[in-house]
Structure 1
Amino acid sequence: MLLQREKSLLLMVDFQAGLLPVVDGGQKAVNEAAWLGEMACLLEVPVWLTEQSPEKLGGSSVSLLACLNNYRIWQKQHFGAMAEAEFREALNATGKTQIVLCGTEAHICVLQTGLGLLEAGYDLYWLSEASASRRAQEASLARERACANGAVAVTADMVAYEWLHRCDTALFKEAHQRLLKPRSSRPVRFF
C-alpha cells in the first residue's frame, strides 16, 4: 500500500538530548528524521514527537526541532505512547491512519509504541534509517519484530516520494529544491 500524505502522520519517538549521545547510529537517525520531518512540514503532514521523562532524559534535540516549522510534543511515562490515554485519543481524533514511526530506543519505546499502533488498527511504517538503539542489533531486532506483526519497513526517500506522488507539480519542484539533497550536507547536532 502506498503512503498518502492526507492519511499520514510522522511520529518521532524520544529523540532526546540526554539519550542520543549513547545511541549507536544516533546522529544518522536524527539526520534522517530531520530530513523527513522538514519534508512532512512542507507537505502539511502532521509531525508529533514524544519525550520519555524529559526531566531525566532532557527534551527533544534542539537542532531537530529547529528543522521543523510545525510540530506537537507529547510527554509520556509509559514506554509505548499508545498507553497514554490523552495521546491515544488525540491521535484517533486526527483521522490519520498511516503512521510513519521512528526514534530511539528502537527496541523499547519505538517498538512498544509501534506494537500499540498496530494493535489499535493503524497502518505502521517503520522508518528504518531513523530508528536506533544503544546497540545496533537491538534496533535491527525491533524492526524485524515490528514487521513480523504487520509494520512495513521504509526509508525516508520511499516516504517522501510516495507523499509527493508525482513530479510535475510546483510542490514537487519546491520539495526537490529544498529537501531532496544528500543528508550529509544537512548535519544535525544532538544539542
Structure 2
Amino acid sequence: MPTTTVTRTYRIRREDTQALMIDVQDKFVPHIFDMDKITKKARILIEGLGHLGVPLTINEQYPKGLGHTISELKAVSGDAPVFEKSAFSSVDDEHTWRHLAMQNRHHVLLFGIETHVCVQQTALDLLDNGMQPVIITDATSSRDPYDRKIAIRRMRRAGAVMTTAEAILFELLRSSQDPNFKAISNLVK
C-alpha cells in the first residue's frame, strides 16, 4: 500500500488549542434563541477546558450598554482575561488579537453570540490570519435561528471546523486513560 505525506492535521490537539467566548452578556440573554441550552453547553465547555488546561479568552461587546459576561459563565471562567471591544470581529480588536496571537495556538474554539455577527466575522478574520476557527455549534446562537443557520453554512464553506462542546472535549481528551477522563465524563452527563 502506498504511503503519502499528510500536510494537514484534522485532529485537534489540546496543546495547539485555545478558546474564545464572544459576547455572552446580560442584555443579550432575553433575545437569543435557545439561550438556556447555549449557556449550559458553554458552561460544560468552559469547565472541561479548565480541566484540560486549554486557555480561555473572553470578549465583551460594549459592556457599558450590554452588560458583562453572564454570572453563570463568569463564575466558571477562572482568571480568563476579559477584553472589551467595539468592533464586531474579535480580530479587529487590537488587544484581543494580540492576546490570541501570543498564545501561539493555531486552533481557536469559538462560541458565544451572535453567530451571524461577531462569531462569523471573527471566524472569517481568523482564517484570513492563518488560524483555524473551530465553531462550537451547540454553544453559539443568534436572535433568529435562520441567521444562525446561514452563518454556520458560510463559516463551514470558508473553512471553519464545526463541532459540539461534548465532541471537542473528548477529542482534546483523546483517551479514557487521560487523568481528566472522569471529570469530563461527569460534566457531560
Q: Percent identity?
A: 29
- 1:27 counterpart SS class: helix
Task: Give how far 1:50 is off.
Answer: 0.6
Q: Using the alignment, how far apart are the partners of 1:19 and 1:171 within structure 2?
A: 33
User: Does 1 or 2 have the higher relative contact order (CA < 8 Å, sep 6+)?
Assistant: 1
Which of the residues 16, 28, 43 maps onto 1:19?
Answer: 28
1:121 aligns with 2:130: yes
Q: Deviations over 1:14-59 (max 9, x none)?
A: 0000011111111211111110010001111011111000000000
Moved more, 55-64 or 164-173: 164-173
Counterpart in the other structure of 2:15: 6
How far residue 171 of structure 1 moved from its aligned partner, in angstroms, is 2.1
Letter in 2 for 1:6: E
> 1:170 is paired with a residue of what secondary structure?
coil
Who is 1:105 aligned against? 114
* Alpha-carbon distance in 1 for matches of 2:95, 2:35: 28
Q: Which runs of 4+ in 1 moved over 3 A?
A: none
Contact 1:14 1:104 in 2 (8 A): yes
In 2, the alpha carbon distance for the partners of 1:40 and 1:62 equals: 18
Gaps of 5+ in 2: 1-9
Map of 1:180 onto structure 2: 188
Q: How does 1:24-39 map to 2 (within 5 A)?
A: 24-39=33-48
Residue 97 (structure 2) aligns with: 88
Structure 1 length-normalised TM: 0.91
Alpha carbons 2:133, 2:160 under 8 Å: kept:
yes
Equivalent AA in structure 2 for residue 11 of structure 1: L
Assess if the C-alpha contact under 8 Å between 1:3 and 1:98 holds in 2: yes
Aligned partner letter, 1:72: P
Is residue 78 of structure 2 the alignment partner of residue 66 of structure 1? no
Q: CA RMSD in A?
A: 1.1
May I ask how many residue pairs the two structures share in their alignment? 180
**SS across alignment from 2:53:** coil
Q: Between Structure 1 and Structure 2, whose CA radius of gyration is higher? A: 2
Q: 1:91-170 to 2 correspondence within 5 Å?
A: 91-170=100-179
**Contact 1:41-1:70 within 8 A present in 2 as well:** no
Unmatched tracts of structure 1, length 5 or more: 182-191
